[in-house]
A and B are shown apart, each in its own frame.
Chain A
Amino acid sequence: MNPLLALRYHWNVNVLGPVVLRLQRWQAERRPARWDTRYLAPPLRIAPRTKELVARHWLAGRYADGYRKVAWVTSGAPVELLKALDFYVLYPENHAAICGTARLAVDIASEAEGAGYSRDLCSYARTDIGAVLSGKTPVGRLPKPDVLFACTNICQTVLFWYRALAEYFGAPLVLIDTPFVYTEEAAEHAVRYVRRQLEEAVPVLERIAGKRLDERKLRQVGLLSKRASELWLEILQRCRHRPAPISVFDQFIQMAPIVEMRGDPETVDFYAALLKEVDARIAAGVGAVKNERKRVLWDNLPIWYRLRYLAEFLARHGVAVVVSTYTNAWGELAPLIDPDDLWESMARTYIYPILNRGTGHKLRTMRQMVEEYQLDGAILHSDRSCKPYSIGQMDQRDRLIREVGVPALLLEADHNDFRAFAEEQVATRLAAFVEMLG
C-alpha cells in the first residue's frame, strides 16, 4: 500500500472531512425549511445527519483508490460478503439517484447518449455510464472498481449495464444470478443455485481483497444488516399511525443508508435515532402532511427530480403518501436474515426481493398495504426506465380499482430523466386523482 495514499485517505476521510461535514451539518440544522411548511411538517431533525452520513460515505470513496479495494455493486446485492472483506462499496444506482435529485442526471446521461447509449435504456445506467465516460459527478470523484458485483434480483438491466462497466474498467464481474420467482415459493434448486454462487464468489472476492473471509466478521456484518433492516421496517410501519409521521418522500431521502451502508454499525445507530424521532412525532401528534385527509401508496421508484413538487402538490390537497412498495423492499426481508445460518438465509433473502417476484405478488403486497395502512388510493409510477417494476402495473391498477375499491393512478414518468416528465399532464392527472379520492 502506498503510504502517501493511506495518509491522504486518513487525513481527508478521518480528520479534515468529518470536521467540514460537521460544520455543514451545523449550518444545515439552522437553515430554514425549503419545502412548503404550510402543508408539510418541518423537515426531520435528523435530515442534516443523514446528509452528513451519506456525504462521509462518498468522501471515503473519493479517496479510496490505492488505499482500499473498491466494489461497485447493485442495490439488491448481498453486500455482506463485501463488507466482511473490507471493500469500499459503491452503488452506481445511488450515485445516479444523487445526480437525479441534484438535477444533474440528464446532463451526465447525455455523455452516455453521445457515446451511443440509447435514451430507451435505464436512466440510472445512462447516468452512471455518463459519469464514467465524463468524470462528471456531484460527489467529487468516483473510485475505480476493483470488482463489479451484480445481482440480478432487481432486474436484468444491471447485468447488461455491468457487462459494459466491465469493459470500460477491465474489472472482473462477479455475478449472483437469482432466478425470477414467478410463483409464491422459489424452487429449491433455484435457492441452491444462489447459495452455490455466493460460495463460489468468496475465493474470487478474497483474491481481489487480498485477505481471507473471516466467518465471525461475516456473521457480525449479517447481524448489523439484519438489525438495520428491522429498524427500517419498524420506521416504515410507524406510518400505519394516523397521521403518518413521515411520508414516502421522507422515506426516499432517508433510505440511502439502508441501501448503501447496510452492515455498518453507524447505520444501525442512525435508524435507531430516526425511529426515536418518528416516535416523538407520533407522541406529539405531528403528521408529515399537516392536514392528512387521505392516505395513498406509491408503487415503483421515486421521481427523484420532482420529489418536492409531488410532496407539496399532494400535501396541498391533504393527501399523504404513507407507504411504498419500493422503500418497503429494504425492510420486508429482514426476518429472513439469519446470522446463525447466514449462507442459506442469504440465498433466500436475496432471491425474494419484490422486484424478483411475480406481478401477482406485487398486487398482493399492495392489497395488504391498503388494508394495513388504511389507504384511500394508490399511485403507480409507470417508470420508463424500470420495466420489471412497471410491467404488470396496468393489471394491478385495474384490480386495485375493481377488486379493492380504491382509486389508482398510473403516472407516466421516469425515475431520473426529466425529459420523460410532462409536468402539465402530470398535474392534470394528479388533480383528477385527488378529486376521485374525494
Chain B
Amino acid sequence: MEPASPIPSRTQTLRAWKEQGGGIAAVLPIHYPRALLRAFGLLPVEVWGPPRVDPAPGAAHLQPYVCSIVGNALSFLLSGGLDGTDVIIVPHACDSLQGLGSLLLDFVRPRQPVFPLYLPRGRRESDLQFLADECRALYEKLAAITGRAPSEVELMKSIRREEEADGLLAELHRRRRVLPLSDLAFYRLVRAREYLPAEEFAARARAVLDGPPADPRPGVPLLLSGIVPEPMALLDAVAEMGGAVVADDLACSGRRLYPPGTSTDPFRRMAERILNGPPDPTRGSPIAERLRHLVGMARESGARGVVFYDVKFCEPELFDLPLLRRGLQEAGLPSVHIEVDLNDPLSGQTLTRIEAFLEMVAGQPAEEARR
C-alpha cells in the first residue's frame, strides 16, 4: 500500500531544486504564505523539529521546558542542517517559536536572513488587513534579498498553483479511507506537501486520486489530533494494533487545509486563505469552534475515538485539552492524550496506552459513539 513511485526525500527535493537554480526557504511551523515564497523562486521546506537530532547545540540556548520542535530546530540549524537554505522564515505560532525567532535574530545570527511573520489571533477585518500587510512586508524583504519583484499576475499565478495543490490535499483527506494507501503511506504523501513543489505534489496526489478506490481499510476508526505524527512508525503500530486513522486535526496536516481565497488582491488572498483555515488554537480559534470541528470530523469520517498526540510543553494544545476532552466525551467520543518528545523513540508505554484505548473504543457500542 505504497504509491507507485517513491516520494523523494526533503534532501533530494532540496538538491534538485537548487540544481535548477532555485532558492530554498526553511520554514518553521505552522502557517505561512507558500505562494509568496514560490513567487520569488524560493521553495518552502518546512522544519518540524526535525525528530531525532542531537539536542545539545540547542540546549546551550534554550531551557529544558521549551518544546522539542523548537529545541530541535535550533539544534538542527546549529549542526548545519539548514546550510543549504537561503532564508529562514519563522511564523509566530506560540511563545516558544516567538522566542526562537528572536534568538535567531539577536544572538544566534545564522548566515541566512531570518524573517519572522506575525499571525493575527482572530478573523476580524482588522486581522485580515494586518496579515495582508504582513505578507506585503515579507514581500519587500524577500525582494531585497532576491533582487526580484514578482508582479501581481505572477503572485496570483503562484497562489492558484498552491490553491490547486491544497484542493487536492483536501481531497486526499476526504477520501483517505478508500485510498490504496496505508496510514503510513498516506502521511508520507500528505506530509510531502511540507517540501515538494506544489505542482509536483499535485501530480502525485492526482495519480493516487485517479487510481481505483480500495476497500475501506479495516480497523477501529480514529481521529488523530495534535501537532505532528512523529515518529511516523506510530502509524504502522496503530494499524498493527487494529486501529485506522480516518481523520486528522494535526497542526502539520489537517489544520492546514486552506480553502481557496476570493480576493483579487494577492496579499489579501494569501491572508484570507490562512485565516479561513480549520480552527487552530495558535490562530485564536475559540475552543467551542474547535470542539464542533472535531465532533463534525468524527461524524463525517466515522471516527470512534480521538487520540491527542502532542509534543511535550506545547501550551496551545495543553490549554484546550480539558474542555475538548470533556466536550468529546459528552458527544460520545472517548479520547486519550499522549505527550512525546521528538527525540524519543516510539515507546512501549505509548503503544500500550494506544492499545488500551483501542480496546476500550472497540468495546464501546458504535451507537454510543454516534450519539
A residues lining the B interface (CB < 8 Å)? 115-118, 120-122, 125, 152, 155-157, 159-161, 163-164, 166-167, 173, 175, 177, 179-180, 182-183, 187, 189-190, 192-193, 196-197, 200, 358-360, 363, 382, 384, 387-388, 390-395, 399, 412
Contacts and interface: CB of A to CB of B under 8 A. Distances in A.
Contacts of A387: 65-66, 95-96, 99, 315
Interface stretch (B10-18, B30-38, B283-291, B361-369): B283-291
B86 interface: no
A388 B137 CA distance: 24
A175 B107 contact: no
A117 B322 contact: yes
Interface in B312-344: 312-313, 315-316, 318-323, 325-326
Contacts of A391: 62-63, 66, 95-96, 98-100, 102-103
B102 A163 contact: no
A387 B70 CA distance: 12
A120 B133 contact: no
Interface stretch (B40-48, B124-132, B242-250): B124-132
24 contacts: A117-B318, A117-B319, A118-B321, A120-B313, A121-B319, A155-B95, A156-B94, A156-B121, A160-B315, A163-B281, A163-B287, A167-B287, A187-B133, A190-B130, A196-B126, A196-B129, A359-B103, A359-B107, A387-B315, A388-B98, A390-B63, A392-B107, A395-B61, A399-B107
A164 B319 contact: yes
Contacts of B316: 156, 160
Interface of B is mostly: helix
Contacts of B98: 156, 180, 388, 391
Nearest to B322: A116
A160 B103 contact: no
B320 A160 contact: yes
Nearest to A357: B102
B101 interface: yes
Given A116-B325, A160-B316, A164-B287, A189 B95 contact: no
B60 to A, nearest CB: 7
A161 B325 CA distance: 16
Contact of A394 (B61, B313, B319): B61
Contacts of B106: 358-360, 363, 392, 395
Given A117-B322, A193-B133, A395-B61, A159 B102 contact: no
A213 B62 CA distance: 45
B130 A359 contact: no
A120 B341 CA distance: 14
B105 interface: yes
Nearest to A112: B322
B287 A157 contact: no
Interface in B264-310: 281-282, 284, 286-288
Nearest to A122: B315
A157 B95 contact: yes
B118 interface: yes
B92 interface: yes
Q: Top 4 nearest A-B pairs by Cβ distance? A: A391-B99, A360-B106, A116-B322, A160-B319
B95 A156 contact: yes
B213 to A, nearest CB: 40
A189 B130 contact: yes
A161 B105 CA distance: 28
Contact of B102 (A118, A121, A155, A358): A358
Interface string B47-61: 000000000000011
Kindly name the residue among A122, A163, A164, A173 whose own CB sees the greatest number of chain B CB atoms within 10 A: A163
A277 to B, nearest CB: 38
B319 A193 contact: no
B23 interface: no
Given A156-B94, A177-B122, A391-B63, 18 more contacts: A115-B322, A117-B319, A120-B65, A120-B313, A125-B319, A157-B315, A173-B286, A179-B118, A180-B118, A182-B116, A189-B136, A190-B130, A196-B126, A200-B124, A358-B105, A390-B63, A391-B100, A395-B106
Contacts of A125: 319
Contact of B95 (A179, A187, A388): A388
B134 interface: yes
Kindly name the residue among B101, B102, B105, B325 whose own CB sees the greatest number of chain A CB atoms within 10 A: B102
Contact of B129 (A193, A382, A392): A193
A392 B95 CA distance: 12
Contacts of A360: 102, 105-107
Contact of B92 (A180, A196, A200, A399): A180
Contacts of B326: 116
B337 to A, nearest CB: 8
A394 B62 CA distance: 7
A200 B126 contact: yes
Contacts of B197: none
A160 B319 CA distance: 6
B62 to A, nearest CB: 6
B99 A121 contact: no
Contacts of A392: 99, 102-103, 106-107
B180 interface: no
Contacts of A155: 95
B99 A182 contact: no
A392 B313 CA distance: 17
B29 interface: no
B96 A163 contact: no
Given A166-B286, A359-B106, A190 B118 contact: yes
Interface in B128-179: 129-130, 133-134, 136-137
A193 B286 contact: no
A437 B74 CA distance: 33
A399 B101 CA distance: 18
Contact of A121 (B105, B120, B315): B315
A175 B122 contact: yes
B134 A189 contact: yes
